[in-house]
């Protein structure tokens, strides 16, 4: 007979070490998969995890890929910490992109330092407003935020489709589903010549710092944590649960909106149907891998970003199927959740007693 | 920064070096928008790549590259890792391709279906799929009993509108009473949406269905409903053996082989290629004998005439929906007009979504 018991004493250092363990297990598991597929595992892992960042360009690409993941995951950590399951960051990203992109098109041909800040701000507000829909429905009508936020992803996607196909499509673009290229004044400044890394990284770093400040140094952060640990305690303490739910969704949505506007004003430079390769969903893995901790999320976003780049390099050099990248992301999450389970629960193997037979 | 430029200079010197020594390391890269197993657009490009490989040239591909921010990195990586010729096979790669081409003047780039050639090392290529649509129109016009032809369209870009018009004109020639009904699905590949569209068209009385989307769903719906259909991009016959009259096949292989050899031997030049039935970039799958041997013979003759240039898909007089003349009697539409086509011809129902 097997008995599962909750452990009461989980040391914090092990709690933060398990993600690293999960990564090593993933490397090991990945090596086995490569071996089974007929590749030299060491060589394949090298192409997967080292080659992509062996030069400055690769490193800049890693940061570009990690930036939206980090931003969204930081926002999600507010929701997840307080037991609010916002699954629709992808939709909030897209809606932020739509609002920011709309403003960018409005300012088409305008020069001026104020253009970009207005676009970025409107993108953040766009994401925030979109995230408020599931929050308000949850607080006032008791709807399930998982379903509502998830379904709103499709609403945002279809709205973007409609806009780039119809009213916002490039008048000189032969009806292709895309807007004009934004003016130079609406683009994130490039930091180094020849690289694509742009000023959006500063926005991300500032957001990470502010999140840390809010989560660990303010009363609101304390409320968020307490509500996450026990909703009843929070109620007894007299916290205004409804306001808090709306606030965490607003923060989360604003971060996703920022990520969206960073993509369209950064490397993409226009609106089209593919502004996000599901960053909003991948960021959920990032948030948990980073233990919902701002610093942890920075590292987690870099690692998950690397699995994207690695999948490309491995296919170029070894013709490994591109989807191994997703297999790696899945394995990381699997091993993390698996080790978490063993971390929080004890499995006892008891002998069978006579009277049970 | 310094390191980056050093790498760049070294790679350029390296490329110059290998072009001097008979290109022993000549490599061709392909960037695909979908998985190689999609049985449509990407599958056919990969068949082309295999033909290049069979010609003794090393190739590499990267599949499922999103058309957003990732495309530029993948194209740049291929250029940086010693590929001498790079085919980017989706419209959304147009700007990234030109951007990377600027930084790698010694690498040749070929972009499918685009119109921007901003640097001398960028060529563009596409196929005259509309010639295949003319053949489809002829068959559809003859085979329909309800005089309603259903058309599943992806995006209202000139290529798709050209196909609708070419098909309608050819069908009207053999059957003046036909009407073309269109459902826009705004996707290139979505089996669910495509089959719904096919069903909606059948419900509206269409007894011939054709598609400008890549999944096999519409022909399967047609097979079940007992109406005629046509395959797209690759031969889809085995997905609907009774219903499919033929398929338009995108055959990129001859072009890919020719351009790869030209690049290897140093005779590659920038060009804008638009090949059709004549060059074999557009090919037709075997015709279904269910349409009768007379009709098969007719269509085969029409195919020959289109290939030889004796017949043109857009021969005047052609009128738009309001009855204004588009192409005068006795003349044919020039390539400029075809490239920017954004009005329906008479006989097509509905408006182009704007």
Record: contact A277-B68, CB cut-off 8 A = yes
Q: Chain A, 310-329: which have a CB under 8 Å from a chain B CB?
A: 312-313, 315-317, 319, 321-323
- Asked if B78 and A196 come within 8 Å (Cβ–Cβ), the reply is no
Q: Which of residues 178-237 of B touch A (CB under 8 A)?
A: 186
pLDDT band with cut points at 50, 70 and 90 for residue B16:
very low
* 3-class DSSP assignment, residue B295: helix
What gap in Å lies between CA B219 and CA B199, rounded to an integer? 11
**How many residue pairs bridge chain A and chain B with CB atoms within 8 Å of each other?**
96
pLDDT score at B146: 96
CA distance B84 to A350: 66
Model confidence band, residue B4 (pLDDT cutoffs 50, 70, 90) = low
B-chain residue closest to A161, CA distance? B186
Fold classified for B2-127:
Rossmann fold (3.40.50)
Is the Cβ of A194 closer than 8 Å to some Cβ of chain B? yes
Q: Do B95 and A195 touch (CB under 8 A)?
A: no
Phi, psi angle pair for A110, to nearest 5°: -85, 140
Q: Do A267 and B186 touch (CB under 8 A)?
A: no
> What is B129-249+283-339's CATH number?
3.40.50.2300
Collect all residues of chain A within an 8 Å Cβ-Cβ radius of residue B353.
Answer: 165-166
- B73 to chain A: which residues are within 8 Å by CB? 61, 196, 309, 312
Mean pLDDT of chain B: 90
pLDDT given for residue B20 in this prediction:
43
Structure tokens at B266: 């140093």
The answer to whether the Cβ–Cβ distance between B4 and A319 falls below 8 Å is no
What angle do the packed helices A294-318 and B70-80 form, to 10 degrees? 50
Over the stretch A119-176, which tens digit does the pLDDT of each residue have?
999 999 999 999 999 999 999 999 999 999 999 999 999 999 999 988 998 888 877 8
CB contact under 8 A, A275 and B68: yes
pLDDT of B13 above 70: no
Model confidence over B234-279: pLDDT tens digits?
A: 999 999 999 999 999 999 999 999 999 999 999 999 999 999 999 9
Distance CA A135, CA A132 (A): 5
Alpha carbon of residue B300 to chain centroid: 21
Q: Are strands B27-31 and A345-349 parallel, antiparallel or unpaired?
A: unpaired
The four Cα atoms A230, A232, A236, A239 give a dihedral, to 10 degrees, of: 70
How large is the average pLDDT for residues B224-232? 96
Task: Provide the 8-state DSSP code for B285.
Answer: P
Cβ neighbours of residue A47 closer than 8 Å, sequence gap 6 or more: A310, A313, A314, A317, A318, A320
Q: What is the pLDDT of residues B322-336, one digit of tens each?
A: 999 999 988 999 988
Q: Answer whether residue B21 shows pLDDT above 60.
A: no
Token look-up 């509502």 returns A148
Separation between Cα atoms, residue A132 and residue A149, nearest integer Å? 10
Residue A185's closest CA among A125, A119, A96? Answer: A119
Asked if A309's CB is within 8 angstroms of B92's CB, the reply is: no
Query: For residue B25, what pLDDT is reported?
Result: 86
Between CA B222 and CA B202 the distance in angstroms is 8
Q: How many CA atoms lie within 13 A of A143 on its CB side?
A: 17
Residues 6+ apart with CB under 8 A from A154: A91
**What's the pLDDT score for residue B155?**
87
- For range A80-86, the mean pLDDT: 93
Q: Which of B77, B80, B95 sits opposite A312 (nearest CB)?
A: B77
3-state SS record for chain A? CEEEEECCCCCHHHHHHHHHHHHHHHHHHHHHHHHHCCCCHHHHHHHHHCHHHCCHHHHHHHHHHHHHHHHHHHHHHHHHHCCCCCCCHHHHHHHHHHHHHHHHHHCCCCCCCCHHHHHHHHHHHHHHHHHHHHHHHHHHHCCCHHHHHHHHHHHHHHHHHHHHHCCCCCCCCCCCCECCCCCHHHCCCECCCCCCCECHHHHHHHHHHHHHHHHHHCHHHHHHHHHHHCHHHHHHCCCCHHHHHHHHHHHHHHHHHHHHHHHHHHHHCCCECCCCCCHHHHHHHHHHHCCCCHHHHHHHHHHHHHHHHHHHHHHHHHCCCCCHHHHHHHHHHHHHHHHHHHHHEEEEECCCCHHHC
Q: Comparing A219 with B23, which gets the higher pLDDT?
A: A219
**Model confidence at B19: pLDDT above 50:** no
Residue A283 makes CB contacts below 8 A (sequence gap 6+) with A68, A69, A72, A73, A76, A89, A256, A301
Q: Which of residues 321-340 of B touch A (CB under 8 A)?
A: 340
Q: Residue A321 and residue A71: Cα distance in Å, rounded?
A: 29
**Range(s) for CATH 3.40.50.2300 in chain B?**
2-127, 129-249+283-339
A295 backbone dihedrals φ, ψ, rounded to 5°: -70, -40
Give the chain B residue nearest A192 (alpha carbons): B1
Quick count: other Cβ atoms within 10 Å of Cβ A105?
A: 20
Chosen for mutation from B70, B82, B189, B343 (greatest number of chain A CBs closer than 10 Å) is B70
**Integer Cα distance of B32 and B45 in angstroms:** 8
Helix (H) / strand (E) element for B182: namely strand B179-184
More confident residue, B152 or A330: B152
Q: How many CA atoms lie within 13 A of A343 on its CB side?
A: 18
Residue A318 has a CB neighbour count (10 Å cut-off) of: 17
Paired tokens of B138:
């002829």
> For residue A78, which of A256, A280, A203, A225 has the smallest C-alpha distance?
A225
**Other beta carbons less than 10 A from residue A351's beta carbon:** 7
The interface predicted TM-score of the complex, written ipTM, equals 0.83
Is residue B79 within a helix (H) or strand (E), and if so which, with residue range? helix B70-80
Residue B300 has pLDDT above 80, yes or no: yes
Q: What is the token pair recorded at A264? A: 């369209």
Evaluate whether B197 touches B187 at the Cβ level (below 8 Å). no
Report the share of chain A in percent with pLDDT over 90: 66
Looking at the partner chain, which of B7, B29, B69 has a beta carbon nearest the beta carbon of A263? B69
Residue A357 pLDDT > 80, yes or no?
A: no
Does residue A184 belong to the interface with chain B, where contact is any CB pair within 8 Å? no
The Cα–Cα gap between B223 and A201 comes to 53
d(CA B93, CA A299): 31
Of B61, B74, B158, the CB nearest to A174: B158
Q: Which long-range contacts (CB under 8 A, 24 or more apart) does A25-28 make?
A: A25/A331, A25/A335, A25/A339, A26/A328, A26/A331, A26/A332, A26/A335
What does the pLDDT read at residue B15?
Answer: 47
Are A272 and B63 in contact (CB < 8 Å)? no
pLDDT of amino acid B11: 53
Q: Is A166 on the interface with B (CB under 8 A)?
A: yes
Q: pTM of this prediction?
A: 0.85
**CATH class held by domain A2-356:** mainly alpha
Beta bridge partners of B29: B60, B86
Q: B interface mutation test: which of A48, A54, A57 has the most B CBs within 10 A?
A: A57
Residue B224: alpha-carbon gap to chain centroid: 27
Q: To which H or E segment does residue B223 belong? A: helix B217-225
Which pLDDT belongs to residue B7? 54
pLDDT at B17: 44
Nearest Cα residue to B326 out of B346, B303, B310, B354:
B346
Residues of A in contact with B90 (CB under 8 A): none
CB of B82 within 8 Å of any CB in chain A?
Answer: no
User: Mean of the pLDDT values across residues B25-54?
Assistant: 92
Q: Say what percent of chain B tops pLDDT 70.
A: 93
Q: Do A274 and B68 touch (CB under 8 A)?
A: yes
Closest residue on chain A to B79 (Cα)? A316
pLDDT at position B353 is 80
- Supply the pLDDT for residue A207: 95
Contacts of A168 (CB under 8 A, 6+ apart): A101, A102, A105, A179, A271
* Res A7: pLDDT: 82
Flag whether residue A347 sits within 8 Å of chain B, measured between CB atoms.
no
Nearest to B66 among A175, A181, A277 (CB): A277
A316 with B92: Cβ contact below 8 A? no
Residue A256 vs residue A355, higher pLDDT: A256
Q: Name the residue with higher pLDDT: A234 or A85.
A: A85
Phi, psi of B85 (to 5 degrees): -140, 130
Q: Which residues of B touch A166 (CB under 8 A)?
A: 353-354
Cβ <8 Å between A277 and B70? yes
Q: What is the pLDDT of residue A356?
A: 55
When scoring B69, B104, B212 by the number of chain A Cβ atoms within 10 A, the one with the most, hence best to mutate, is B69
Q: Is the pLDDT of residue A255 over 50?
A: yes
Instruction: Compute CA B167 distance to the chain's CA centroid, rounded to the nearest angstrom.
Output: 15
- Any idea what the Cα angle at residue A314 is, between residues A311 and A320, rounded to 5°? 90
Could you say which residues from 13 to 52 on chain B have a Cβ atom under 8 Å away from some Cβ of chain A? Answer: 29, 35
> Does the pLDDT at position B6 exceed 70?
no
The pLDDT value given to residue B8: 53
Question: Which of A161, A195, A276 is closest, CB to CB, to B186?
Answer: A161
Question: Cβ of A195 and B78 within 8 Å?
Answer: no
Sign of CA dihedral B88, B91, B96, B100: positive
Q: Do B186 and A192 touch (CB under 8 A)?
A: no
């Amino acid at each position: 007979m097997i008995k599962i018991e909750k452990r009461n004493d989980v040391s914090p250092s092990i709690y933060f070490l398990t993600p690293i363990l999960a990564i090593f297990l993933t490397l090991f598991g990945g090596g086995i998969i490569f071996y089974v597929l007929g590749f030299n595992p060491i060589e394949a892992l090298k192409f997967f995890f080292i080659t992509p960042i062996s030069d400055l360009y690769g490193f800049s690409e890693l940061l570009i890929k990690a930036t939206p993941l980090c931003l969204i995951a930081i926002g999600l950590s507010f929701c997840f910490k307080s037991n609010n399951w916002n699954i629709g960051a992808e939709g909030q990203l897209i809606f932020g992109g739509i609002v920011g992109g709309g403003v960018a098109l409005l300012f088409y041909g305008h020069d001026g330092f104020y253009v970009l800040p207005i676009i970025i701000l409107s993108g953040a507000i766009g994401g925030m407003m979109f995230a408020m829909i599931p929050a308000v429905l949850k607080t006032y009508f008791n709807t399930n935020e998982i379903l509502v936020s998830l379904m709103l992803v499709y609403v945002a996607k279809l709205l973007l489709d409609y806009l780039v196909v119809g009213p916002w499509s490039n008048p000189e673009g032969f009806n292709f589903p895309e807007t004009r290229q934004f003016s130079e004044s609406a683009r994130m400044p490039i930091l180094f010549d020849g690289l694509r890394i742009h000023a959006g990284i500063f926005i991300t770093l500032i957001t990470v710092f502010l999140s840390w400040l809010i989560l660990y140094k303010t009363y609101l952060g304390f409320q968020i944590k307490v509500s996450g640990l026990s909703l009843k305690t929070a109620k007894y303490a007299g916290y205004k649960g409804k306001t808090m739910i709306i606030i965490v969704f607003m923060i989360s949505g604003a971060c996703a909106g920022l990520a969206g506007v960073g993509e369209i004003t950064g490397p993409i430079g226009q609106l089209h149907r593919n502004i996000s390769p599901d960053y909003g969903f991948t960021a959920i893995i990032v948030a948990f891998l980073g233990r919902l901790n701002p610093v942890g999320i920075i590292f987690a976003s870099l690692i998950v970003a690397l699995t994207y780049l690695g999948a490309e390099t491995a296919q170029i050099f070894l013709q490994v199927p591109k989807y191994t990248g997703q297999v790696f992301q899945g394995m990381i999450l699997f091993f993390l959740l698996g080790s978490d389970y063993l971390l929080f629960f004890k499995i006892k193997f008891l002998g069978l007693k006579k009277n049970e037979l | 920064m310094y390191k980056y430029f050093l790498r760049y200079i070294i790679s350029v010197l390296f490329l110059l070096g290998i072009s001097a020594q008979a290109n022993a390391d000549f490599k061709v890269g392909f960037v695909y928008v979908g998985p190689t197993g999609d049985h449509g657009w990407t599958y056919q490009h990969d068949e082309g790549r295999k033909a290049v490989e069979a010609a003794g040239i090393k190739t590499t591909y990267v599949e499922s590259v999103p058309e957003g921010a990732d495309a530029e990195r993948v194209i740049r990586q291929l250029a940086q890792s010693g590929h001498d010729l790079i085919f980017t096979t989706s419209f959304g790669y147009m700007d990234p391709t030109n951007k990377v081409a600027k930084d790698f003047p010694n690498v040749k780039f070929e972009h499918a279906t685009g119109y921007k050639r901003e640097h001398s090392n960028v060529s563009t290529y596409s196929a005259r799929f509309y010639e295949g649509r003319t053949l489809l129109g002829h068959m559809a016009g003859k085979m329909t009993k309800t005089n309603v032809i259903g058309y599943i369209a992806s995006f209202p870009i000139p290529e798709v509108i050209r196909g609708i018009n070419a098909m309608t004109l050819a069908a009207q020639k053999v059957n003046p009473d036909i009407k073309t009904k269109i459902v826009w699905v705004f996707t290139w590949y979505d089996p669910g949406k495509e089959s719904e569209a096919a069903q909606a068209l059948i419900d509206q009385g269409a007894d011939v269905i054709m598609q400008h989307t890549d999944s096999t769903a519409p022909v399967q719906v047609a097979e079940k409903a007992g109406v005629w259909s046509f395959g797209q991009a690759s031969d889809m016959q085995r997905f609907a053996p009774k219903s499919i009259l033929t398929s338009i096949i995108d055959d990129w292989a001859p072009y890919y082989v020719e351009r790869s050899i030209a690049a290897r031997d140093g005779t590659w030049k920038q060009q804008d290629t638009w090949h059709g039935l004549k060059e074999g970039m557009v090919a037709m799958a075997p015709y279904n004998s269910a349409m009768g041997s007379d009709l098969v013979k007719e269509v085969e003759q029409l195919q020959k005439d289109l290939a030889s240039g004796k017949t043109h898909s857009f021969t005047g007089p052609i009128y738009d929906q309001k009855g204004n003349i588009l192409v005068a009697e006795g003349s044919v539409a020039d390539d400029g007009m075809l490239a920017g086509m954004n009005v329906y011809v008479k006989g097509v129902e509905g408006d182009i979504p704007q």
